[in-house]
A and B are shown apart, each in its own frame.
Chain A
Amino acid sequence: MGYDFELAGTSHVVHPVHVPGRGRLSIEGRGFDAELFPGLVPGEHILEIAGRQERIFVAVRGDVHFIHYRGRVHRVEAVNALERARRAADPGGGAEELRAPMPGTVVEVIATEGAEVTAGELLMTIESMKLQTAITAPHDCRVAEIPVSMGATFDQGDVLVRLETPDETGDDSSEENAEKEKSK
């Protein structure tokens, strides 16, 4: 079972590989000996990879990994196979996310979770760089989740509203259960 790691907009498949006595993984099908050791100060790590030793700093928040390496910071987001399968089984329709076009704050939340909304209906007002923007429903659908609340701040790309077309609920959970069974 592999993982997708998204780096700079590109997805890369990384597999864990267990070899007794040493760490091993494969990136895009190529195998590496790699191990991560804690460093001397918080966040610091020594990565041994392909015989090299690299000093890095790591911070993790949920599925997002921030890696400081040779003076640059990289954001790597993990998408595990479960999530990937879910996305694959969901080509375009079904679940949908309205993401923030730029960082800002939530001025007002109008829609409620579970509500059926029609195309163009106002869901939320946000403010970014002193400019208010209306977030509206792209088509007839149902509001599945509103992960932000009034007054909350968000970053560019954060999910503001999750939508779903009513028919396709329920599929997700059964699929998720099936995946869980498999991985056990």
Chain B
Amino acid sequence: MKLSRLVEILDATVLTGEDQLNIEVKTAFSADLMSDVLAFAKPKSLILTGLTNPQVVRTASILDSAAIVIVRGKKPPAETVGLAKELNIPIISTKYILFETSGRLYMNGMVGCVKKIGG
């Protein structure tokens, strides 16, 4: 799925990374715990989260994530958006809750980074 399509599906706003909407993404990881993202997310995946602090961006950068989707209409601080711009990671904001966001993307072909732990 192209990020541009994801923006349509999630009725979302691109906060930074407008120039990267052609990126193709196949997998995603949803979590409000960066510890879990670090343990389970695969490279080139989306991170779907309700967290908005700059550590989300640093975590995404460490993991070579494709983009960050901030759910529940949360507004990240300018510092977070600025860091994402600097590190070249798109941030997309949607008003859908995490469950709806994940479900809508899954229905359109996106899958999780792992299906089951240890499975």
The judgment on whether A and B are partners is no
Footprint of A on B, CB under 8 Å? none
